[in-house]
Amino acid sequence: GNSVTQMEGPVTLSEEAFLTINCTYTATGYPSLFWYVQYPGEGLQLLLKATKADDKGSNKGFEATYRKETTSFHLEKGSVQVSDSAVYFCALSDRTGTASKLTFGTGTRLQVTL
Amino acid sequence: NAGVTQTPKFQVLKTGQSMTLQCAQDMNHEYMSWYRQDPGMGLRLIHYSVGAGITDQGEVPNGYNVSRSTTEDFPLRLLSAAPSQTSVYFCATKFGREGTEAFFGQGTRLTVV
């Protein structure tokens, strides 16, 4: 079946540091890939997505490229801010049965300090 | 425009009690789903619906029932709560059946003692 593997957290960085959160996936079809972010006490919100190989998703300074050859979708940001502190989830969406369903990784907590 | 609304936000149940978690959306989304979030396990799909009158099981359906009588509402029922159902529950909706963006409610934190 489908699965998503993310690096263990927490990740602690100083403000303005470079961020990478690794994500690899296993899927039987041709999934769409997503990064969702969860701020404390809130639900998940879509951060960025990519629907096919070599697509780059980007939003709010975050980027991730869909790499089919390495089955990866690593999240990067050049300069993190304290406000980026949250839990980040990598996910894939693949059609099985009557609808496409999301499969999530376990989440990576990011803490950014001054 | 409220989006996805979940009630209640917090609930404590005794083992064996029943309750219904409510989810309502005002975006006319066809697809609605329930997830549970547990530490170290990410989000796992419980049940989903692709339209009124149509529901299907996800990854962890045991102990939960759902129905979809309207486009707007998708309640999740726990018939006999167990401590293993202590979790944070999220309702999520999508415009259609395919791999588009999902919109999440703010969650219901349930504790079963």
Q: Mind listing the pLDDT tens digit for each residue in B44-79?
A: 999 999 999 999 999 999 999 999 999 999 999 999
Structure tokens at B6: 């979940």
| CA closest to A7 among chain B residues | B40
Which residue of B55, B90, B101 to mutate against A (max A Cβ within 10 Å)? B101
Strands of chain B, DSSP E: 4-7, 10-13, 19-25, 31-38, 42-51, 54-57, 64-66, 76-78, 87-94, 103-104, 108-112
From CA A94, how far away is CA B79, in angstroms rounded?
31
Gap from B15 CA to chain A (nearest CA, Å): 25
- Whether the pLDDT of residue A15 is over 70: the answer is yes
pLDDT of residue B99: 64
Asked if A100 has any chain B CB less than 8 Å from its own CB, the reply is yes
Give the Cβ contact number of residue B67 at 10 Å.
15
pLDDT of residue A94: 83
Terminal Cα distance for chain A, rounded: 41
Provide the CA A76 distance to its chain's centre, in angstroms: 9
pLDDT of residue A12: 97
Instruction: Name every chain B residue with its beta carbon within 8 A of the beta carbon of A46.
Output: 101-102
pLDDT tens profile A29-63: 789 999 999 998 889 999 999 999 999 999 999 99
pLDDT band at A28 (very low <50, low <70, confident <90, very high): confident
Asked if A40 has any chain B CB less than 8 Å from its own CB, the reply is no
Record: contact A102-B40, CB cut-off 8 A:
no
Instruction: Name every chain B residue with its beta carbon within 8 A of the beta carbon of A41.
Output: 106
pLDDT of residue B101: 83
- Looking at the partner chain, which of B4, B42, B56 has a beta carbon nearest the beta carbon of A98? B56
Instruction: Name every chain B residue with its beta carbon within 8 A of the beta carbon of A104.
Output: 35, 42-44
Asked if A52 has any chain B CB less than 8 Å from its own CB, the reply is no
From CA A95, how far away is CA B20, in angstroms rounded?
29
Record: contact A43-B105, CB cut-off 8 A:
yes
Nearest CA to B99 among A42, A81, A50?
A50
pLDDT of residue A50: 94
Record: contact A99-B97, CB cut-off 8 A:
yes
pLDDT of residue A97: 67
Q: What is the mean pLDDT of residues A74-102?
A: 90
From CA A92, how far away is CA B33, in angstroms rounded?
15
- Whether the pLDDT of residue A100 is over 70: the answer is yes
* CA-angle at A37, arms to B25 and B35, nearest 5°: 50
CB of A25 within 8 A of CB of A2?
A: yes
Q: Percentage of residues in chain B with pLDDT exceeding 70?
A: 97
Q: What is the mean pLDDT of residues B79-99?
A: 90
Burial pattern A20-43, b for ≥16 Cβ within 10 A else e, equals ebebbbebeeebbbbbbbbeeeeb
pLDDT of residue B41: 86
pLDDT of residue B100: 75
Instruction: Name every chain B residue with its beta carbon within 8 A of the beta carbon of A105.
Output: 42
* CA-angle at A42, arms to A39 and A89, nearest 5°: 55
From CA A62, how far away is CA A79, in angstroms rounded?
9
- Looking at the partner chain, which of B42, B44, B98 has a beta carbon nearest the beta carbon of A107? B42
What does residue A88 show for φ and ψ, rounded to 5 degrees? -110, 130
Q: Which residues pair with A110 in a beta bridge?
A: A11, A86
Q: What is the mean pLDDT of residues B84-95?
A: 95
pLDDT of residue B1: 60
pLDDT band at B95 (very low <50, low <70, confident <90, very high): confident
pLDDT of residue B96: 75
